[in-house]
Structure 1
Amino acid sequence: MANCDNLFREFNNTIKLSEPKKNSLRTSRNSLREKVKDKFKEKGGYDLKFHWQGSFAMNTIILPKDDDYDVDDGAYIQGEKIPTESIETLHNWLMEAAEEHTTLPPKDKATCVRVFFKEKYHVDLVLYHKKTNSRPQLAHKNAGWTDSDPKEFIEWFNARSDDSGQLKRVVRYFKTWADELRGEMPSGLIFTILATNNIRFNDRDDVSFLETMESIHTTLNSQFVCYRPTTPANENLFGGYSETRKKYFMDRLSSFIQSGKQALELPNQKDACPKWQKHFGERFPCNLAEDKLEDSKSFDAPAFIKSDARSADQE
């Protein structure tokens, strides 16, 4: 049976964000934060606090095939009273700060202001209001101030992660597959929830990924839902999917599962690798695949080891 674990690990090294890129992001973020902080102090006398959120904060961010990636940064207005200014006005302040910071024009969206950088990434500035001992409220241009707690989601994810970092790698594999297909594939948030709820830990990443796909397929075949586990809780993220879009995803998931099963049954990496590369794209490292017979052996899943969110990830 072909063991492609080392190819998956090398693939993970290719698709995850490198430390130089992370450092570049942090530098851009810090400078942008200062601009936003000064703007809100000048315009409304507000003191802001900031928190990374989303895939960067959870360390599941990937480098897309077109090299254009995004990160989310939460800006929190502190205080017991909701700001008197309209959300439209507050977004305009974010826009002004962004325009003063970069030469590329920002984009005002319902839930954020998107700031573009010439290094081919963008930062989504998401504005919140935070009372003491209360959940944050998102400044949504259409829905008003709505409950939303991205830090709660990060804590939920970290509590279910393993010390070896396999869950984070599996999430990256799903995101890279979606990036390869583009189109009507689920979002990174949906894949993060599905993978976390259905993860099948194993010493081998190829086996873990295949068995997690199978678990997701079984779950969605029974009931095609994906509920957000944190505030706003119980929102079905598949709620707006048409039957056509559901079928599109399930058909591609079934096809990937079939290829994964075939890959595991083949005698060597050289024969098995194209089965994985067919779905992951050309970045999956078939150039490293070896043409030698694998020993037949069991790949039963080991006991799950719960991660302490404070510990370093073994990636």
Structure 2
Amino acid sequence: MVPNARFLELLQDIEPSSTTVSNSSKAHTNVRNHLKAQEDFKSKIEGDFLSGSYARNTSIRPKTDADGLVRPDVDIIIVTNYTEDDEPDDVLNDLCAALEDEGDGYVVERINKRSIKLITSLAEMDVVPVIKWGEQYKIPDRESGEWKLTDPPGHIAWSRDRNSDFSGRLKPLVKLFKWWRRENNSGKRPKGFVLEVLTALHAPENETHYGEAFAQMLENIHKAYAFQAELDIKPVILDPSVGSDILSKVSITQWKAFMAKVKAYADYARKAQSSDNMDDATWYWRKVFGSRFPATEVENVAKASSLLEKAAATAGTSSYVFPDAMAAPTKPRGFA
């Protein structure tokens, strides 16, 4: 069995870098301050807060885009004093106009179904207008013309509480799950919050070894939904806060492709956990998580020995000292 320390190394590697977190903070702070300074819109604002994986601390570093930029996704919630009598399309247009008015350092890319998409050199942001609805919120849906129930603070509280149930291991497992999806993509969906809920439902709460916990989670997901998928049936999985179906945007084709990946990689993960040979186990885990999963100690020692020999041959001495552990990466990491 591969030591738990290897999974901790991987988690450290895919964690948001301090640079990316700082860039994200600058980007969303700029947007929030911009809206509060708009004469025609500031009277509509009752508050604002962050949402999504950034707020729930379940993000992984983002991909580098075609231009070589690393831009995380940040969701900004703007609490407004609009009412359900206001047309969702009008509300989104008002917000878009306020954002376009002398926007500083960002570009309004488009009006989405329920948000405004912004692009900056530091981050990509979705700005979402909502109205208070008791202890929860409603969000405008321009396609249906209705206001839909949502509860970002409830999701944050749920994520925090479930992570406590797992003794702090739920969020790392979510990050491993998201990284696995990136390395072994089966389509656009499911993603994000769906993966978090699946982790909370099907990962073992008391398993402390991340490899075993991940293997069991994939096995449990397959066991729970594979039969329905074979019959072209997509399950209903309820939002833990508002009770709606979190798979509503996932097509049956996307769900079946996802389930096929779950089955294949559950087998790889179990083979990794069952192997007594460290090299074989590592090979299987690198099939699951990609080349960033740390190599075996044998490989590391061999590389270190090779470097030592080259250094001695070049400098005429073998007095170089190499660290016992793999050096931490210095290249900035982001999250998504």
- The two structures have a TM-score, normalised by structure 1, of 0.81
- Which protein is bigger by CA-based radius of gyration? 2
The alpha carbon displacement at 1:219 in A equals 1.3
The alpha carbon displacement at 1:161 in A equals 1.0
CA distance in 2, matches of 1:234, 1:146: 10
Q: Could you tell me which amino acid in structure 2 is paired with residue 207 of structure 1? A: E
CA distance in 2, matches of 1:272, 1:176: 19
CA deviations 1:49-86 (Å, max 9, x no partner) are 111111111110111343443121111114xx617654
Moved more, 231-240 or 145-154: 231-240
CA deviations 1:269-315 (Å, max 9, x no partner) are 332122122232222222xx2239xxxxxxxxxxxxxxxxxxxxxxx
Contact 2:130-2:137 at 8 Å conserved across structures: yes
Q: Could you tell me which amino acid in structure 2 is paired with residue 290 of structure 1? A: E
Contact 2:108-2:116 at 8 Å conserved across structures: no
- The two structures have a TM-score, normalised by structure 2, of 0.76
CA distance in 2, matches of 1:60, 1:240: 21
Aligned to 2:141: 140
CA distance in 2, matches of 1:92, 1:238: 26
The alpha carbon displacement at 1:150 in A equals 1.5
Aligned to 2:216: 211
CA deviations 1:123-145 (Å, max 9, x no partner) are 111110115x3421102212321
Q: Could you tell me which amino acid in structure 2 is paired with residue 177 of structure 1? A: W
Structure 1 unaligned blocks of 5 or more: 293-315
Q: Could you tell me which amino acid in structure 1 is paired with residue 297 of structure 2? A: E
SS at match of 1:278: helix
CA distance in 1, matches of 2:250, 2:142: 20
Aligned to 2:288: 279
CA distance in 2, matches of 1:36, 1:228: 34
**Alignment root-mean-square deviation, CA:** 2.4
- Aligned with 1:259 (options 250, 265, 268): 268
Q: Report the number of matched residues.
A: 283
1:174 aligns with 2:174: no
Q: Could you tell me which amino acid in structure 1 is paired with residue 97 of structure 2? A: E
Aligned to 1:187: 191
Aligned to 2:50: 52
Structure 2 unaligned blocks of 5 or more: 65-69, 229-233, 300-336
Aligned to 1:290: 297
Aligned to 1:295: none
CA distance in 1, matches of 2:224, 2:112: 33
Q: Could you tell me which amino acid in structure 1 is paired with residue 45 of structure 2? A: D
Q: Could you tell me which amino acid in structure 2 is paired with residue 221 of structure 1? A: A
